Amino acid sequence: MTSSLRAKTTRRFDSPEQEAFLNLWRTYDCLKALEEQVFGGYQLSAQQYNALRLLRSVFPGSMQTLALGKRLISRGPDTTRMLDRLEQRQLVIRARRSENRRVVEIAITSEGLALLDRMADDVRRMHQQQLGHLSVAELQAFTELLKRVREPHEDSSCDWLTG
């Protein structure tokens, strides 16, 4: 085997960017497994939990469906179906505005608030298990670095992430 062929077969990554990306992806997968275990115990997806958390932040008010969709962490293809499931469980309510029937407002219910309260300790423990081995300074630096990585790829649909 020639040295150039050996170099190509032993190289693990095509570039430092690929190595960083694949490590980010692997890290996400490890942390997501912990998340799925916790949220699954409450018959929720991470996206549903995040929607409830966002609606709690405007309680007792409501939020338009489009505004909620823009603030979700992941760009789910079907926000309507996710909200249908939450509404079936009586965790949210939806209402159309009388002045514009195309605009749908969503609000968290008392059942939704109670579920978030029941979940709070488990969610805190999950985050501690995911990232608690890092110091506050490391977490702050990590957060800033993630924002910097994301920055050139942001668009108006996820501008809330820059805050």
Tell me if 147 is assigned to some domain.
no
Tokens of 71: 């603030």
3-state secondary structure 61-94: CCEEHHHHHHHCCCCCCCHHHHHHHHHHCCCEEE
Tell me if 142 is assigned to some domain.
no
Tell me if 17 is assigned to some domain.
no
Tell me if 78 is assigned to some domain.
yes
Instruction: Report pLDDT for 82.
Output: 92
Tell me if 160 is assigned to some domain.
no
Q: Which domain holds residue 105?
A: 26-132
Tell me if 156 is assigned to some domain.
no
How many domains are there within the chain?
1
Write the CATH number for 123.
Answer: 1.10.10.10
The b-or-e profile of 78-103 (16+ CB within 10 A means b, else e) is ebeebbeebeeeebbbeeeeeeeeee
Tell me if 143 is assigned to some domain.
no
> Which pTM value belongs to this model?
0.81
pLDDT in tens, the chain (163 residues): 565 555 555 678 999 999 999 999 999 999 999 999 999 999 999 999 999 999 999 999 999 988 898 888 776 668 889 999 999 999 999 998 777 777 889 999 999 999 999 999 999 999 999 999 999 999 999 999 999 998 888 765 455 444 4
